[in-house]
Amino acid sequence: MTDLLQDDEYERRFAGVAKIYGDSAFQHYAQSHVMVIGIGGVGSWAVEALARTGIGELTLVDMDVVAASNINRQLPAMSSTLGHEKINVMAERCRAINPRIKINLVDDYLSPDNVKALLATAPDLILDCIDDVKAKLALMLHCRFNKIPLIVSGGAGGKLDPLKIRVADLSKTEQDPMLAKLRAQLRSKGICKKPKEKFGITCVYSIDNLFSSADVCPSAGLRCGGYGSAVVVTSSFAMVAVAEVLKKLDALQAKNT
């Protein structure tokens, strides 16, 4: 294999990646920098998948700490990690998976006020796993005007069936109120005003109907407000999103060769 795989231990860890994606693609992954914004029910699983695929550099953006309410769906959440910063827990996992990986930690929430500063590290691609509409809009605008490849996760809460996850341009997403709101706000700013015009923003979303927790929440002791989340869905969102990240990295490699 290549120089990247001369070390026997490294080869044993990642030979499977090179075999299925190709040695050239694996080399490119090892030299790629992906930023994941939001290390929650979708983002944490995405980080794990990126690390296990041999991505050479990851930037993790989040300011949250692990809480008991995260345990049902978030990878870093366990009894032993309660109160720990999510980005630190995931960084430790990534280094245990791939000691050669470079990890950048941003202990902050992305907002319209800091988007330019947080993205100054110039990643090759950004995976958006946040659920704040204002922050997502600011990120979309910044990436559009600076030509930064962006993959966006829609809402995974209130969804039950992982087989109903889809991938489409923002112009064609369905059954996702958050993405619909973002689409409308971009059009109100004069971006892609024609209904069939593509935004050039790849989104992962679900066509499943939103499931009301009130129907299955008999106990007064449970917090039944809002939508519940199922790990079989949030983790599946992440895997589909990472598959799209890898496709985009492959396309970038082909474009530059």
3 has a pLDDT exceeding 90: no
- In which residue are the tokens 């917090």 written? 223
pTM for this entry: 0.92
Which pLDDT band, with edges at 50, 70 and 90, does 7 fall under? confident
Angle between helices 177-188 and 133-146 (to 10 degrees): 50
Which pLDDT band, with edges at 50, 70 and 90, does 4 fall under? very low
Give the Å distances, CA to CA, from 234 to 155, 159, 170, 251: 9, 9, 19, 26
pLDDT at 143: 96
Render pLDDT for 86-135 as a digit per residue (tens, 0 to 9).
999 999 999 999 999 999 999 999 999 999 999 988 899 999 999 999 99
% of residues, the chain, pLDDT over 70: 92
231 has a pLDDT exceeding 60: yes
Torsion of CA 26, 32, 38, 43, to 10 degrees: 0
219 has a pLDDT exceeding 60: no
pLDDT at 201: 97
Residue 85 is classified by DSSP as: B
216 has a pLDDT exceeding 60: no
pLDDT at 208: 97
% of residues, the chain, pLDDT over 90: 83
pLDDT at 141: 97
Instruction: Tell me the pLDDT of the chain averaged across its residues.
Output: 92
pLDDT at 8: 85
pLDDT at 214: 58
Q: Which of 4-8, 105-109, 144-148 has the lowest mean pLDDT?
A: 4-8
Sequence letter at residue 159: K
Render pLDDT for 34-83 as a digit per residue (tens, 0 to 9).
999 999 999 999 999 999 999 999 999 999 999 999 999 999 999 999 99
Q: What is the mean pLDDT of residues 168-174?
A: 97
pLDDT at 2: 46
Q: What is the mean pLDDT of residues 196-217?
A: 85
pLDDT at 234: 98
Please give the span between the terminal C-alpha atoms of the chain, in angstroms, as a whole number: 20
155 has a pLDDT exceeding 90: yes
CATH topology of domain 21-255: Rossmann fold (3.40.50)
Domain boundaries, the chain: 21-255
pLDDT at 72: 95
Rounded to whole angstroms, how far apart are CA atoms 164 and 168? 13
